[in-house]
Amino acid sequence: MDEFRKKIQKRSVLLRISIATIFIINGILYIIQKDAPQLEEGASFQMGVLLGIGIIGCFSIYRYHLALKDEVKLKKLYIEEHDERKHMIKEKMSQSAIWTSVILLLLVGSVMAYVNTLIALTLIITAMMIMVIMCLFKVYYFHKY
């Protein structure tokens, strides 16, 4: 359990560094946005996404902090992270979701070819790149295991 405690402490430190970086980037975006009104929409969207990620990270840090203080919560977190059934469900769900996304991207891309060829090309290239990434990961994991 001490090894898992160290892993959680390391994860918590990395999250804190990431959240600090996110808030620094948000500050820089705010400064840039004030001087360039044409960037307002994009910078506002990006600031909102970064703020949301930061808030989720803060909740994770709080959860890890509570687990590190209480041995029962730490053990519960350990069991939750090492549950083989949940890992299998996530694996199957991710595999189904990625294939469904690729198929839908290709279908929507083929329909969009009648409306706007640039959007169609973008969707099809996105689907192809996802498939290339899937193939690279497949080769990597076949060699790893």
pLDDT in tens, 111-135: 999 999 999 999 999 999 999 999 9
Question: Is residue 131 packed enough to be buried (19+ CB in 10 Å), middle (13-18) or exposed (0-12)?
Answer: middle
Position 13 scores a pLDDT of 95
Question: What's at 98, amino acid-wise?
Answer: I
pLDDT digits (tens), the chain, 145 positions: 889 999 999 999 999 999 999 889 888 878 877 777 777 777 788 888 988 999 999 999 999 999 999 999 999 999 988 889 988 999 999 999 999 999 999 999 999 999 999 999 999 999 999 999 999 999 998 888 7
Position 25 scores a pLDDT of 85
CB 4 within 8 A of CB 39: no
How far is residue 129's CA from residue 145's CA, in Å, rounded to a whole number? 24
For residue 37, what are the CA distances in angstroms to 27, 32, 41, 83?
A: 16, 9, 8, 49
Position 58 scores a pLDDT of 93
How far is residue 131's CA from residue 12's CA, in Å, rounded to a whole number? 33
Q: What angle do CA 68, 71, 87 make, to 5 degrees?
A: 80
Residue 10 is classified by DSSP as H
Q: Which two tokens stand for residue 127?
A: 């689907």
Q: Which two tokens stand for residue 136?
A: 């690279």
List, as one string, the DSSP characters of 48-61: HHHHHHHHHHHHHH
Q: Which two tokens stand for residue 53?
A: 């990620």
